[in-house]
Every structure is written in structure tokens, then in C-alpha cells.
Amino acid sequence: MIIGNWKCNGSNEMIVSWCADYDRELNGNDAYVAVAPPSIYFSKFNSENKLSNIVGWGAQDVDHLDGSRTGAISVDMLVDTECGFSIIGHSERRQIFNEDNSLIREKLKSLNKRIMTILCIGEAKEENDKGITKDVLKDQLEIVNGLELDTEFTVAYEPVWAIGSGLTPEPKDINEIHKYIKDVVQSNSENNLSPKVLYGGSVTDKNAESFFKEEFVDGALIGGASLDGSTYAKIVNIFNGIDK
């Protein structure tokens, strides 16, 4: 699974060139591939995408309620757009918009079994330096406790210090953390689900292969490198070329 997170980037012009570039570069595809444009561009993305190769689309975030909540987009609205997934818990939402675990759990509960959820978790640099990465991730994963999770529930492991920095953990360390995440979710969820785990943080067409080769890396969540259609297609090509 390869997911592109465009964050607050994109324009009508960018979407036209993105789809053309992606189509040109792609060698065929058998994985689930999608991007999360700003939701206001869903229909533009879709209309260009139909002329191009098939790429799914989804949301960067969602609100767990509806009604008098200016600026919010609800789960029902996402269902109406027929989008394929929603990201929740991205570190930028946690830091800039002060989202905490209890709010993210509400989002997870409202999406669960309706829209595929991609839950982002990750430790800060200081936490990594202190050697408490697993403790931090375990705390963030508490939000699945006692929930019967949708079988498509997915986690994205995104060390905060790796996002947009050009820095990444070693592939073998990512692999170990992914195994840990699968084990924690499996033991804490009601239905003992072992989720797919994506790696995110400075993934490019240059380093993607080293991550994809690892046993417990089920794909990637890609920010900056997803903004260029041909670079994104190159990463998808690499993913499709790995035989695991």
C-alpha cells in the first residue's frame, strides 16, 4: 500500500500535471495506491484521474462529529465522496492543532468499519534519543484498546524527526518497530487484529527500496515526494518490483 499525503499543497494546475506525469511514469500497478489531496480538490483530482491511471484518494483528517463545527468535514461526508481512507493522528495535527489521544480515539471510533483508517504514530527526536520510542508508541496505540477493529485498519509509523527532514531510521530498526506495532495492536484490539504498518518520513525514490525490502514494512506514507506525479510513480514502481 502506498499513500501520498499532499498536506496543504496542490492547485488545479498541479493536479493536471500530476496525473499526466504519474500516468507517463507508471509501469502498471497491482498494489493499493492512493493520495490524500486537500479534500476541496477531491472532485478535480477524480476528474483528471479518470483520464489517467487508477489511483485512489482519501482524506488527510476527519471530524468525529457533525453539525455546528465550522470548518469541519464529517465521516458521513467522506462516505458520500466515496473516498478510500482517512488519515488520523498525523503529527502535524497533534502538534499544530493540539489533537490528543482521546480525540484521535473518537475519530478512530467514528471511522471504524466505514472508511479505512490510517492512524499515524511516531516518536519525537528527544524520545528517540532517550531510547523510549516503544513506550511512546505503546501510549499512542492505547486508542485501539478494546475496539473491534476493521480488518483494513492500518498504522503509519512516522518518527516526527524523520518527517520532511531527509533523516530516516535504519531499515532494520523500522522493521523491528513495525513488528512491535503489529504485536501491540494485536494484543490490545478486541479482535486481535494484526494491522498493516506503513513507514513514513522522508521516503523518496532513492531510499524506498531499502524500506520496502523489510519483512514487516507493508508500504509507505509519503509527503514531499508524493507532490510530483513522476517521482510518486517511481516509488510505486519500486514497491511493485519487490518480491516478498
The reply to whether 90 belongs to the active site is yes
- Looking at 17-25, 189-197, 198-206, 231-239, which segment touches ligand PGA (CB under 6 A)? 198-206
Torsional sign, CA 72, 95, 34, 108: negative
The reply to whether 64 belongs to the active site is no
Residues 136-165: x where in contact with ligand PGA by CB under 6 A, - otherwise, as a string: ----------------------x----xx-
Per CB under 6 A, the list member of 200, 218, 231, 238 interacting with ligand PGA is: 200
Residue 222 touching ligand PGA (CB under 6 A)? yes
Residues 161-190: x where in contact with ligand PGA by CB under 6 A, - otherwise, as a string: --xx--------------------------
Beta bridge partners of 116: 85
Of the residues 25, 48, 90, 152, only one is catalytic, namely: 90
- For residues 136 and 123, the answer to whether their CB atoms sit within 8 Å is yes
DSSP-assigned states of every residue in 69-123 = -TT--BHHHHHHHT-SEEEE--HHHHHHS---HHHHHHHHHHHTTTSEEEEEE--
Residue 201 touching ligand PGA (CB under 6 A)? yes
- Return the closest-CA partner of residue 174 out of 192, 162, 165: 162
- Return the closest-CA partner of residue 82 out of 106, 107, 114: 114
| Closest distance to ligand PGA from the beta carbon of 75 (Å) | 21
Of the residues 25, 123, 127, 158, only one is catalytic, namely: 158
How far apart, in whole angstroms, are the C-alpha atoms of residue 151 and residue 196? Answer: 9
How far apart, in whole angstroms, are the C-alpha atoms of residue 77 and residue 61? Answer: 12
| Closest distance to ligand PGA from the beta carbon of 104 (Å) | 15
For ligand PGA, the closer of residues 41 and 157 by Cβ is: 157
- Looking at 59-67, 74-82, 126-134, 197-205, which segment touches ligand PGA (CB under 6 A)? 197-205
- For residues 238 and 205, the answer to whether their CB atoms sit within 8 Å is yes
- Which residue numbers are catalytic? 90, 158
Q: Give contact residues for ligand PGA (rule: CB under 6 A).
A: 5, 158, 163-164, 200-203, 221-225
